[in-house]
Amino acid sequence: EHHKQKKFCNDKCRYEWWAKNRDKLNSKIINKFICPVCNKEFTVAGNKKRIYCSSDCYHKSRQVCHG
């Protein structure tokens, strides 16, 4: 199996680095979206199909209330 070598010690470090270095993102287009679950604005590089800001919001959207 081939695994990418991790560049950051944890997710928090990775998020902080990308927040401070967004201008260094060597990607196509940055798309802005509003998460339909939490209404938070988030940006995605090159992915126009992303809907949710996080996997937590995705999972919340899949929960159905049977009350």
- The count of structural domains within the chain is 1
**In the predicted structure, residue 1 carries a pLDDT above the cut 70:** no
Q: Is residue 34 part of a domain?
A: yes
- Specify the pTM: 0.52
**In the predicted structure, residue 36 carries a pLDDT above the cut 80:** yes
- Three-state SS at 35: coil
Lowest mean per-residue pLDDT among 5-9, 15-19, 53-57, 59-63: 5-9
The 8-class DSSP code of residue 5 comes to P
Q: Is residue 51 part of a domain?
A: yes
Residue 43: domain span: 28-67
- Stretch 27-48: mean pLDDT: 86
Alpha-carbon distances, residue 10 vs 15, 23, 38, 58, 65 (angstroms): 9, 21, 24, 22, 34
Q: Is residue 54 part of a domain?
A: yes
- Stretch 33-48: mean pLDDT: 90
Q: Is residue 12 part of a domain?
A: no
pLDDT tens string 55-66: 999 999 998 665
